[in-house]
Amino acid sequence: MKTLLKSTTAILLSVAFAGQSLAQEALKELGAGEGQLSIVAWAGYIERGETDKNFDWVTEFEKKTGCKVSVKTAATSDEMVALMNEGGFDLVTASGDASLRLVAGKRVQPINTALIPSWSTIDERLQNAPWHTVDGVHYGTPYVWGPNVLMYNTKAFGDKAPDSWNVVFEEMTLPDGKSNKGRVQAYDGPIHIADAANYLMFHKPELGIKDPYELNEEQYKAALDLLRVQRTLVSRYWHDAFIQIDDFKNEGVVASGSWPFQVNLMKADQPIASVFPKEGVTGWSDTTMLHVDSEHPNCAYMWMEHSLSPKVQGDVSAWFGTVPSVPAACKGNALLTDEGCTRNGYDNFEKIKFWKSPRAKCASQTECVPYHRWVSDYIGVIGGR
């Protein structure tokens, strides 16, 4: 709840900035590193070997550039927007439901791709992706991407994996003979409304939902009603990956939408697996974006170049369960292995409905419910309204 309340400020600031022109120019040339670099990132995205010594893509960068990296972990996209609005950071690993808000709010600056030698190695599906490209101008460097999977406890589900998101949206008796009530979780962020809409696209086609991020009033109401049912089942709205891990290990949670990161950390010693349910999945493609008032732009550009190396891309993807933005990372990485990209969903790009910020002006219909409504109404759903 605290995260959602904080996000309201971020949304209002984004809306206030949205009418302003995008006049900022990209950096023309690089100079010497400034010695420091601060990054707002998702958990597990910037590792220096503290959790597992095999996963460290910070130490080498610091030695090579002299740029000391500090990381502020954010649990939701709204928290990332709030932090970037507050300032004091150089980079953010923004998902698609935050990136265009940061552009419209003039919190990030255009990127001069000529200053990033490895830009040409980026997957062609991502080079001009609409979540970081506006009017042909790039506002960030693709990092990694992936799906929001259904994570489940194999003991609770027995030999048959769940094939539908209904196990977290509707009350039922699970294969272990117990109700799912109080044993499932939901994501603590307004973008979760899209997961409900995605479920309804499959089960109630008469609603006419074409895009889970573009909902008219009737479609939006149906999604909220489904989420109100879900609230009676949920034991916790999660936004901290490590707290969710603890809940699956120690608090009896058996099913939830999740990230491959949590699945990978648990499956080695816990009865945990994940699936792509029949309704499909939402997902995220994350972009490393440079704050408009960055105090360390040279170190930031050095990091963006470093982040595109096949070694870093492969290591990040092995650690988090993501797909690299640089296809060359799919071969020859000992941690990811040559099967890793396929396993993590490289061929499922077209099947993922990537996060984006809902807008009143939408492509699939005349008018849609804007994101500030998603924020206030999701707070209401969690609060029992």
> pLDDT per residue over 352-370, tens digit each?
999 998 999 999 999 999 9
CB hemisphere CA count around 343 (13 angstroms):
17
Which pLDDT score, from 0 to 100, does residue 6 have? 40
Consecutive 10-residue averages of pLDDT for the chain (385 residues): 39 39 71 96 94 96 98 94 96 95 95 97 96 94 96 96 98 97 96 98 98 97 98 96 96 96 91 96 97 97 98 96 97 96 91 92 93 96 90
CA dihedral over 314, 316, 322, 326, signed as positive or negative: negative
8-state DSSP, 228: H
Which pLDDT score, from 0 to 100, does residue 261 have? 87
Which pLDDT score, from 0 to 100, does residue 17 have? 38
Which pLDDT score, from 0 to 100, does residue 26 have? 84
Which pLDDT score, from 0 to 100, does residue 8 have? 42
Which pLDDT score, from 0 to 100, does residue 12 have? 40
Tokens found for residue 126: 């991502």
SS3 104: helix
Which pLDDT score, from 0 to 100, does residue 245 have? 97
* Distance of alpha carbon 49 from alpha carbon 221, whole angstroms: 45
* Distance of alpha carbon 323 from alpha carbon 344, whole angstroms: 6
Backbone phi and psi for residue 35, each to the nearest 5 degrees, phi listed first: 95, -10
Which residues does residue 48 pair with via DSSP β-bridges, in sequence order? 56
Q: Report helix, strand and coil shares of the chain as percent, to nearest 5.
A: 40, 20, 40
The full set of domains in the chain, from first to last, is 2-146+284-354 (3.40.190.10), 147-282+358-382 (3.40.190.10)
pTM: 0.85
Cβ atoms of 373 and 219 closer than 8 Å: no
Cβ atoms of 10 and 376 closer than 8 Å: no
